[in-house]
Amino acid sequence: MDASDLADDFVFQFPVVGPLTKTEYLKAVGGFQIKGMFPELNLGVHNFHVDPLQANRVWYTVAFTAVNSGDGPFGKATGIQVDCPPQVNSLTFNEDGLVTRYTGGYVVDKDVGNSGGMGGLFGPLYAIGKGFPFPEAKPYKRSWQFKAFSFVGSVAQKFAKKS
């Protein structure tokens, strides 16, 4: 998106990143140099539809595919083909047609592609072996607490069936 498409009160919100203001968003997007790292990227944008409850909001699906054929801030090109899972994004517009809100990166099927089931920037970076070192930028892994909860639930179900 070009800066002129964004309203002054623009907000960027993805599952882990944001909310970011217009200034923060433009600074962040420029620093990642996505088009330099993936010069022939295909965003796979499709399935546009107007929100039936918010007429100024448009939803769409993105299925990013590309080869990391360009150098960038994360190092030399790897030549790795990246296939991200489908993600749902949205744009909300004001009366002047400017974007006030951009949401996205919400993965629909985490089993698709080689990005560890992640969307946004985290998925492509993971796929080329240059993911960030924090848990939110890594593929989902069940916590020990969730595993314990699931175990207790399965034991409780077995006892409930016997009564």
Residue 125 has pLDDT above 90, yes or no: yes
Three-class DSSP category at 8: strand
Per-residue model confidence (pLDDT) at position 149: 93
d(CA 119, CA 128): 14
Residue 39 has pLDDT above 70, yes or no: yes
Mean per-residue pLDDT over the chain, rounded: 94
Q: Rounded to 5 degrees, what are φ and ψ at 84?
A: -95, 155
Residue 31 has pLDDT above 80, yes or no: no
Structure tokens at 86: 């489908």
pTM for this model (two decimals): 0.85
HSE toward the beta carbon, residue 101, CA cutoff 13 A: 14
Per-residue model confidence (pLDDT) at position 163: 61
Mean pLDDT, residues 16-40? 91
User: Out of 24-33, 67-76, 95-104, 121-130, which region has the weakest mean confidence (pLDDT)?
Assistant: 24-33
